[in-house]
Amino acid sequence: MSDEQGASKLVVRAEALLAQAELREPDYDALAKRIEGALATAGQSDDSLLLPPLPESVDDGRLSPAETAEPKLDAVAASATPAPEPASEREGASLADLARAALARRESKDRVSIAKESLAIATQQRTPAAPATAKALPTIETDDTRDRKRSTIPPARRSRAAFDTRGPWIGVGVAAIGLAAGFGLYLAGNRKTEIIQVPVAANTPNAAPPVTTQTTAESAPTAKTLTPDMLPRERGAPAPMLTPDALARESASSKAPASVADARPVAPGERPAGPAAVAGGATATTGAGAAKPERIVLEEEHAAGDAGPARPSKPPAATGLRPAELNANGGIADKPSTGAAQAAVGAVLGAARSCIAGQPQGSSATLVFGSSGEVTSVSVSGPAEGTPAAACIQSALKKARVQPFAASNFSLGVTIRPP
Amino acid sequence: MAHRTDRELVDAARGGEAEAFGAIVRRHQKRIFRLTSHLLRSAAEAEDVTQETFVRAYGALARFDGRSEPFTWIYRIAVNLSLNAIRARKTTRNSAPPDDPKVEGLLFESRGAGTTPADATQDRELALALIDGLGELSETLRTTLILVGVDGLSHAEAGKILGCPEGTVAWRVHEARRKLRAYLAGRGHEEDEA
């Protein structure tokens, strides 16, 4: 046996012992006579007995003739697939089984040819560094062992090939992200309304209505949650575009004390409070004629605890809106703060409500403040419109005052209910 | 009767000369019996299969195409019959216990002349462990290793009998020996470096 060299000496010795063992052999002469006697009755033998009993299967490895002559068991054990037991024992030697085995062998040969072609392609495209990788492959490289390998491409080339295939996908991913971002901006551009609900600090005893501040900012690119500390630029509002008059007023009143009912002094370097600055920014844009005037609607309620389902009974603390009459530069605020508007309207709201005492329904009024802080006009709509009550309401609401602001005007709406 | 080759005897038997096939039987029955004994691990079954092998070969003489040696052709029939017998008796893969009468009867004693009783006992245990290990192998690996390692056939001859290339036979032998080495190591039979 030529493959004893390098083989497990123990196993080979055991094989030799088994081969040399004296078996309990029969009487061969008697056996031969029995066989000769049985030949007379011998019929036609089954064809399956003449077929190869254990042909090559897909579970078999194969060694090259050189390795067959001089086997290297350690190398074979390292390179061969670990213990490929036959998937299923052949049950019976029917022709169907043999045909399936033959088909399996044929498919195996097909895979071998495919592996050869792949190896040839990989060899042609191999970089100069590739031969070193090829040398690292097991020395025993037979058709079947190649067939067992998952890939014949060297690792270095596999990684480069993977990078080459990732490139287009990265491009597609970037394009998809860009499209998604553009679509999001498009949707955000169509959303123009931001709603903030703040309480009105009404001075009347039975009126502590929350205020729904509705800001219509058509120029706002996105709809976002507003926080008090956000600068106009951060809120997406355009930079204030002050008219020459507003600029003159701003410069004239830049050092004037800015105080409203609940205003606090703001240091020159301190960031201004948000809502006023935001409103100012929007109003400045309005003054430039770029957008419609901002409108604040004040809705009156009889009691703070009498809030409807859609109205919060408590002011949202998260907004934390507070008046701030100075902008970031320490100058005049662009618009009156919400608190100042609440205080101003609340101070005269009682008188306005008394104008419609006895009427079943309330009316609405729109106040327009001038940059000086005075009410320049009041329009009344609703049941009181065209009635003497409207003049009464106008007279009462015109007494409202806010601090001067930089914007050209500032309008707000208020619902007046009968007392 | 002058010494005739296997082919000549087969041709004569195909021509109706019954004694010619008897000559083939006497020439090869011992090797066939030893082969089937190792495959079947039963002397009684091996004797039956040996007889059946020659009877079937005689019945198929008309289909002997002459592309292989008659010896190889008969060997193939013997392997097929042995495998059929193994499958028919639904042999489990479980190894036979050392006191299995079939194994004991199969293995009388080794021929190690001049060995001490201790060495003889050790060799006998090793051979029995190998028989058990062969039982753990797959049918393919076991049959191939018996043909090559025990019966002494070359890879080429075994390949012709089994119907597979020589390289495949070599791979099977290597694989069987690798597994047997691990099996024997697990049974306490370590590799002897000396």
Residues A239/A220, Cβ–Cβ less than 8 Å: no
Q: How far apart are CA A145 and CA A80, in angstroms?
A: 7
- In chain B, the residue whose alpha carbon lies closest to the alpha carbon of A38 is B55
**Amino acid letter, residue A343:** A
For residues B110-131, give the mean pLDDT.
73
Q: Do β-strands A409-416 and A363-370 pair in parallel, antiparallel, or remain unpaired?
A: antiparallel
Q: How far apart are CA B167 and CA A65, in angstroms?
A: 6
Helices (H), chain B: 6-14, 18-40, 43-59, 70-88, 101-106, 117-136, 139-145, 155-162, 166-186
What integer pLDDT is reported at residue A325 of this predicted model?
Answer: 53
What global pTM score does this model have? 0.42
Q: Which residues of A touch B129 (CB under 8 A)?
A: 14
Tens of pLDDT, residue by residue over A134-167, are: 333 333 333 333 334 333 333 344 444 444 556 7
Q: Which of A82, A17, A4, A7 is nearest to B131 (CA)?
A: A17
Q: Which of A61, A12, A76 is nearest to B184 (CA)?
A: A12
Q: State the count of interchain CB pairs (< 8 A) between A and B.
A: 249
Angstroms from A96 CA to nearest CA on chain B: 16
What integer pLDDT is reported at residue A7 of this predicted model?
Answer: 53
Tens of pLDDT, residue by residue over A48-78, are: 788 888 887 777 776 665 665 534 333 333 3
Q: Cβ contact (<8 Å) for B148 and A1?
A: yes
Other Cβ atoms closer than 10 A to A180: 10
Grouped pLDDT means (10 residues each) for chain A, 419 residues = 56 81 79 83 76 79 59 36 37 51 55 57 48 36 38 40 62 88 81 42 41 39 41 42 46 42 40 40 39 43 40 41 51 80 85 86 88 88 86 89 86 85
Distances (CA, A) of A65 to A69, B96, B158, B175, B188: 6, 36, 14, 16, 34
What integer pLDDT is reported at residue B76 of this predicted model?
Answer: 93
For residues B155-180, give the mean pLDDT.
91
What integer pLDDT is reported at residue A280 of this predicted model?
Answer: 40
pLDDT(B74) > 90: yes
Q: Find the range with the poorest average confidence among A103-107, B150-154, B173-177.
A: A103-107
Other Cβ atoms closer than 10 A to A290: 13
Q: Which of A10, A57, A89 to mutate to test the interface with B (most CBs of B within 10 A)?
A: A10
Q: Cβ contact (<8 Å) for A65 and B180?
A: no
Q: Cβ contact (<8 Å) for A80 and B179?
A: no
Residues B151/B35, Cβ–Cβ less than 8 Å: yes
DSSP per-residue string spanning A247-266: HHHHHHTTTS----TT----
pLDDT tier at B185 (50, 70, 90 boundaries)? confident
Q: How far apart are CA A318 and CA A225, in angstroms?
A: 10
What integer pLDDT is reported at residue B90 of this predicted model?
Answer: 64
Torsion of CA A382, A299, A264, A195, to 10 degrees: -110
**Amino acid letter, residue B23:** A
Q: What is the ipTM of this complex?
A: 0.75
Q: Cβ contact (<8 Å) for A49 and B56?
A: yes
Q: Cβ contact (<8 Å) for A60 and B152?
A: no
Q: Cβ contact (<8 Å) for B111 and A21?
A: yes
Q: How far apart are CA A73 and CA A162, in angstroms?
A: 36
